[in-house]
């Protein structure tokens, strides 16, 4: 809290690197299986 009456919450940031799984997930077996199944069964997307 400060003089201007606002409550400020500092946010931390998770930096992107190889270890956070973002890139790894792209090439994971699960992702490949998903892509393969999409092609055949799920063109519109599971939320479509």
Partner 1 sequence: DGSDTDIVALKNYMDAQYFGEIGVGTPPQKFTVIFDTGSSNLWVPSTKCYFSVPCYFHSKYKSSESSTYKKNGKTAAIRYGTGAISGFFSEDNVKIGDIVVKRQEFIEATREPSVTFLVAKFDGILGLGFKEISVGNATPVWYNMVKQGLVKEPVFSFWLNRNVEEEEGGELVFGGMDPNHFKGKHTYVPVTQKGYWQFDMGDVLIDGKESGYCNGGCSAIADSGTSLLAGPTTVVTMINHAIGAVGVVSQECKAVVEQYGQTIMDLLLTEAHPKKICSQVGLCTFDGTRGVSAGIESVVDEKDGRSSGLGDAMCSACEMAVVWMQNQLRRNQTQDRILNYVNELCERLPSPMGQSAVECGSISSMPSVSFTIGGKIFDLSPHEYILKVGEGAAAQCISGFMGLDIPPPRGPLWILGDMFMGRYHTVFDSGKLRVGFAEAA
Give me the torsion for CA of 38, 40, 45, 48, rounded to 10°: -170
Site string for partner 1, 9-38 (x = CB under 8 A): xxxxxxxxxx-xxxx-xx----x--xx--x
Q: How far is the CB of 26 from partner 1 (least distance, A)?
A: 6
- Here the tokens at position 39 are 């092609």
* Least distance to partner 1, CB of residue 27, Å: 9
| Residue owning tokens 């400020």 | 8
Q: Is 21 helix (H, G, I), strand (E, B) or coil?
A: coil
**Residues engaged in binding partner 1 (CB under 8 A):** 1, 4-18, 20-23, 25-26, 31, 34-35, 38-48
């Amino acid at each position: 809290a400060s003089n201007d009456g606002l409550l400020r919450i500092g946010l931390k940031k998770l930096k992107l690197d190889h270890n956070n799984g973002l890139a790894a997930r792209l090439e994971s077996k699960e992702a490949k299986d998903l892509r393969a199944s999409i092609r055949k069964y799920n063109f519109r997307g599971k939320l479509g």
